Amino acid sequence: MVEPERHPFLEGLSKHRGAPPTVVVIFGASGDLTARKLIPAIYNLSYDNLLPAEFHLVGYGRKPIPDEEFRSMAAKAIKDFSRRELDSDIWGRVAANTTYVSGGYDEKAGFDRLASHIRAIEGRVGSEVQSLFYISTPPSVFESIIANLGSSGLGGRYLGQTHHSKVIIEKPFGMDLDSARLLNGTLGSVFEEGQVYRIDHYLGKETVQDLLVQRFANAIFEPLWNRNYIDSVQITVAEDQGVGTRAGYYEQSGCLRDMIQNHTTQLLALTAMEPPGSFEAEALRDEKVKVLKAIEPVALGPDGDVARAQYAAGMLAGKSVPGYLDEQGIARDSATETFAAIRLSINNWRWHGVPFYLRSGKRLPRRVSEIAVQFKRPPGTIFPSKDGFNLAPNTLSFQIQPDEGLGMVLNAKIPGLETRTQPVKMSFRYATTFGSNTPEAYERLVLDAMIGDGTLFIRGDEAETSWGLYTPVLQFWKSEGRRGMEAYAAGSWGPAAADRLLAARGHAWRQP
């Protein structure tokens, strides 16, 4: 096969990151995440020659599936969901070492078969290999899988660089502080912290990583990155889809658990953290934990810091869509929020007095995720608004999806004989500069786990600190039932309560 021509901006970048011989075991191998994200990620790593020479993929699930059928399922997943077309030579290298083991998640015998299967692979390789266990299952079986990895000897203990097992665990990592602590305890009984990779795929997105580069590799931003120059920060994670077929999961989760506690709060931590001493995993994660611990407790009640709502019937993309309470599988008296907004205050020297506004919801006008840093307005002494000058606050926005890039709102003079001003936007887009075939987040994260780089994963104390912030909100909402629950029309940007949350501080939501 002829190697495709690389974009010139990518020349000189390393294509090999030194992953040792590895067996990747996917629990939940027939699930949706495996088909849509994990199999395509592994295929694209193979395409880029980033898998180790000895790489083996093992699927594990309750349903007995012959090896050849599992390979066919994987090939179909690549055809349907990969950012690149299926190349038989590239997939053939992975498929030759792709197998399947069936067994229950609470069945030790199945894990004993898996252990024998891995030993047989090591026998063919002629040496020990690292085992990377990817738990891509419903959270109800997380603890059973972890316990059986321990009882079967597959978990092992961390033994430096010579031989170790690793585990990637998907969200949701717990449902509140107590359950997160319990899950951390279960993990700690089998694995050392250095073996555990709590995944949040947002951290693998290019623009999220670029946030660190913009802050710490450009001298123009960091001197202004504080309360003296920044007025407020808005973080939006919007979805245009409804609950769909996920009613069972979503009724147990809701927006705060599903999006705010993890994705959105991770974006806040990277935006607000202090510069780490180095670009090492623990240095960066230390700073994230520090800023999360500095967030003040959330005020609850009618004039508090949070708003919640459910989408009602409305119009989206020219089509009529039902409200949440009319969706299949949703109880008519459901108190599960499909929209949440929260105002957070960070009690440290850098951010004192700067509100951070977080919002996420379903059935909003479009799918978009962005961080918007709004700087303080210029004094207006030279160009006063009373004289008709149109000045907007400078805003730096990081668009995370769908069109990854960076934007800056500046004020400029309108051409003409009179002095008139107008806000203008400067923008950079990844697809324009670097080409459109940007790696998926899961590619970066699976590779990082294989080579032992935990920078873009969540540490145990970080997960607990985040849950400690939001658990009181969840408990308050549970005690309130539907009292205080607002509605917003599908296709709108959310309820009036979210607007009031900002108006109380003289702000308004921007439309990303």
In the chain the domains, ranked by start, together with CATH numbers, are 8-170 (3.40.50.720), 203-503 (3.30.360.10)
Q: Which helix (H) or strand (E) holds 25?
A: strand 22-27
Phi, psi angles (nearest 5°) of residue 485? -75, 120
According to DSSP, the β-strands at 22-27 and 55-61 are parallel
Q: Please answer whether residues 103 and 62 qualify as being in contact, where contact means their C-beta atoms are separated by less than 8 angstroms.
A: yes
Measured from the Cβ of residue 55, the count of other Cβ atoms closer than 10 Å reads 21
Looking at 376-510, which runs of residues are DSSP E strands? 395-401, 405-413, 421-429, 486-489
> Can you give the pLDDT at residue 294?
97
> Can you give the pLDDT at residue 380?
65
CA 149 to chain centre: 26
CA dihedral 449, 452, 454, 459 (to 10 degrees): 90
Point out the catalytic residue in the list 117, 164, 263, 352: 263
- pLDDT tens digit sequence for 305-336: 999 999 999 999 889 999 999 999 999 999 99
- Let me know if 201 is a catalytic residue: no
Euclidean distance between CA atoms 300 and 305, whole angstroms? 6
> Can you give the pLDDT at residue 429?
85
List, in sequence order, every residue forming a beta bridge with 251; answer none if it has no partner. none
> Can you give the pLDDT at residue 127?
85
Q: In a structure prediction context, what are the per-residue pLDDT tens digits for the chain, which is 512 residues long?
A: 444 444 444 444 444 456 788 999 999 999 999 999 999 999 999 999 999 989 999 999 999 999 999 999 999 999 999 999 999 999 999 999 999 999 999 999 999 999 999 999 999 988 888 999 999 998 999 999 999 999 999 987 444 444 479 999 998 899 999 999 999 999 999 998 989 999 998 888 888 888 888 889 888 988 999 999 999 999 999 999 998 888 888 998 999 999 999 999 999 999 999 999 888 889 999 999 999 999 999 999 888 999 999 999 999 988 999 999 999 999 999 999 999 999 999 999 999 999 999 999 999 999 999 999 999 987 767 777 766 777 788 899 999 888 888 999 988 888 888 887 888 889 888 878 877 677 889 999 999 999 999 999 999 999 999 999 999 999 999 999 999 999 999 999 999 999 999 999 999 999 88
- pLDDT tens digit sequence for 241-275: 998 888 888 998 999 999 999 999 999 999 999 99
Joined tokens for residue 272: 């607000």
Q: What is the pTM of this model?
A: 0.91
The rounded percent of the chain whose pLDDT value lies above 70 is 94
